[in-house]
Amino acid sequence: MLPFRILAVAILIVSMVADTTHFKFVMYPDMQLVFGSIIVATIIFADVVVGFTLGLALFVLYIRVYAEYTGVELSWASLMNGRLTVPKTSYITPQNLKDAQSNVFDERSYTEEIKGPTGPNDSGIYGAQGLNATLPGYEHIPENNW
pTM greater than 0.85: no
Supply the DSSP string of 51-81, one letter for each residue: HHHHHHHHHHHHHHHHHHHHT----HHHHHT
Q: What is the mean pLDDT of residues 2-19?
A: 88
- Summarize pLDDT for 23-75 with one digit per residue, the tens: 888 888 898 899 999 999 999 998 899 999 999 999 988 888 888 877 776 66
- Rounded to whole angstroms, how far apart are CA atoms 116 and 124? 8
Classify residue 50 by burial, with Cβ atoms within 10 Å: 0-12, 13-18, 19+: buried
Give yes or no for a contact between 47 and 5, defined as CB atoms under 8 angstroms apart: yes
CB under 8 Å, gap of 24 or more: what pairs does 126-130 form? Answer: 129/104, 129/105
Domain ranges of the chain: 2-80, 90-133
